Amino acid sequence: MKTSVSLAERARTAELLAPCGSQAALHAAIRAGANAVYLGLDKLNMRVGAVRSFSLADLPDVHRICQEAGVKLYLTLNTIVFENERRQMRAMLDAAAPHIDAVIASDWAVFEACRRRGIAAHASTQLSCANSDAAKFLLSQGIRRIVLARECSLHEVSQIEQAIRPLGGEIEVFVHGAQCVAESGRCFLSHFAYGASANRGVCQQPCRRPFTIIREDDNEGSPRPRAEFAVGAHTILSARDLCSLPFLDRILKAGASSLKIEGRARPPEYVTTVVGAYRKALDAIRDGIWCKTLADELVEQCARVYHRRFGLGLFHGRPGSDQFTDNDENLATRQKRNVGVVEHDYPRAGFVQIRVQDNAFKIGDTLSIQGPTTGEVSLSVDSIRHDDLVLSEAVRGDWYTIPRPFRVRPGDRVYLIRPVPGRHKQDVC
């Protein structure tokens, strides 16, 4: 018999899964309200070419941090695995097993190795699971969670979830971030163009570049000019970034139990901003106060950090031809400028001392302090002091103390966050 679950309960129990490409991003995700984080090591993960991945030696400390915060830790071991890499893959799993809650994988050799070691395994979106028969087969192999193909509509998510719920299966979906033109990521364009395979974590993103079309039978001996056509920059293969905030309640109604944010290559302020927005959304849905006004506010919040033009993905139907962007530039409504470095932090007084090495800042400005242990701390400057002097501006070449909401550490970097002139939030469409 089908059990009805209220929307408020779904929001309360839904897992908010955050990307983690650095120690700073890890702390930022936890402080912003993530229930779980996912990261890769320096081998066999889909972002190995894009971020300074964690090492096996980092895992015990990362695991401790997550355990203390009540946050789950998932390891992405999600590339294809070649014959000569099987021993390395197994050794990674042996070393990682005590420190992780699950492995996200796409290669069947990894699933089998996880099964033998008693490690929970989640099926990556790269398996392109898009129907309930495939989902049931994955469950029959001991896989308990499935990251559905990104081509699935909300209706299909609901149908698959209803089919596997009695079997104890869970559904995870991406809710925010960059989208591959191949959707579920099985793309060979970078491999063909540069010998750098997306399926090995080293995609060069040729899809994000402008293209020129050349008529093949035109050559140097032809009496007519060579025909070349420059295709509009970034409009042919480059997909919009996904933002599901306007319909997050519908994703929950469809039965997704884990909401995944893309962005392991993004900086800590991206993680803080986006994870924080989705945490506010989930809490509002749980409390019955979710509305369009709040959704719009949270979209604006996400628009402050790096993003391409926002789109709805394929949750509302295929083929999604309107989900290609006409502009591949960063459309963030806020820009980050270097200020300097933290020299001292005073925990009892609640102040931080900053050495201004570059951009000056003044009362009313927003600063972002980032570090491997601090994560990301954002604050609005309401007081500036130098010794006994109370000032309205901090200028380059000296130190200043200002109040801060959370503890920071010497050596943390300090950035000035300001609006980008003339740039406004883009609608999600």
Q: pLDDT tens digit string along 129-150? A: 999 999 999 999 999 999 999 9
- Whether residue 319 is preceded by a cis peptide bond, meaning omega within 30 degrees of 0, is yes
Angle between helices 86-96 and 108-117 (to 10 degrees): 40
Instruction: Tokens for 265, please give them.
Output: 């290559």
DSSP designation for 324: B
At residue 135's C-alpha, the angle toward residues 253 and 91, to 5°, is 115
> Is 223's pLDDT higher than 90?
no
> Is 281's pLDDT higher than 90?
yes
Instruction: Tokens for 401, please give them.
Output: 């103390």
**Distance of alpha carbon 73 from the chain centroid:** 15
Tell me what the pLDDT averaged over the chain comes to. 90
Lowest mean pLDDT among 98-107, 320-329, 385-394: 320-329
For residue 121, CA distances in Å to 70, 158, 213 come to: 20, 22, 44
Q: Rounded CA gap, 164 and 404, in Å? A: 48
> Is 248's pLDDT higher than 60?
yes
Q: Which helix (H) or strand (E) holds 134?
A: helix 132-140
Mean pLDDT, residues 167-186 taken together? 86
Mean pLDDT, residues 203-211 taken together? 74
> Is 234's pLDDT higher than 60?
no
> Is 217's pLDDT higher than 90?
no
Mean pLDDT, residues 251-260 taken together? 98
Which is it for the CA torsion 204, 209, 212, 213, positive or negative?
positive
The pLDDT assigned to 202 comes to 74
> Is 174's pLDDT higher than 70?
yes
Lowest mean pLDDT among 3-12, 18-27, 222-231, 350-359: 222-231
DSSP designation for 180: B
Q: Which residue has the higher pLDDT, 196 or 267?
A: 267
Backbone angle region of 166, left / alpha / beta, with phi > 0 → left and psi within -120 to 50 → alpha: alpha
Q: Which residue has the higher pLDDT, 410 or 187?
A: 410
Mean pLDDT, residues 90-111 taken together? 97
The pLDDT assigned to 424 comes to 75
Report the SS3 class of residue 182. coil
Mean pLDDT, residues 117-124 taken together? 97
Return the percentage of the chain with pLDDT > 90, whole number: 72
Q: How confident is the model at residue 1 (pLDDT cuts 50, 70, 90)?
A: very low
Mean pLDDT, residues 56-67 taken together? 96
Q: Provide the pairing of β-strand 36-40 with 72-77.
A: parallel
Q: Which helix (H) or strand (E) holds 29?
A: helix 23-32
DSSP designation for 239: B
Lowest mean pLDDT among 2-6, 96-100, 147-151, 217-221: 217-221
For 361, residues 6+ apart whose C-beta sits below 8 A from its C-beta are 339, 367, 381, 393, 394, 416
Is residue 270 within 8 A of residue 240, CB to CB? The reply is no
At residue 40's C-alpha, the angle toward residues 71 and 68, to 5°, is 20
The pLDDT assigned to 179 comes to 85
The model's pTM: 0.90
Q: Rounded CA gap, 19 and 309, in Å? A: 20
The pLDDT assigned to 14 comes to 98
Mean pLDDT, residues 63-73 taken together? 98
Q: How confident is the model at residue 338 (pLDDT cuts 50, 70, 90)?
A: very high
Helices (H), 245-386: 248-253, 268-286, 292-302
> Is 72's pLDDT higher than 70?
yes
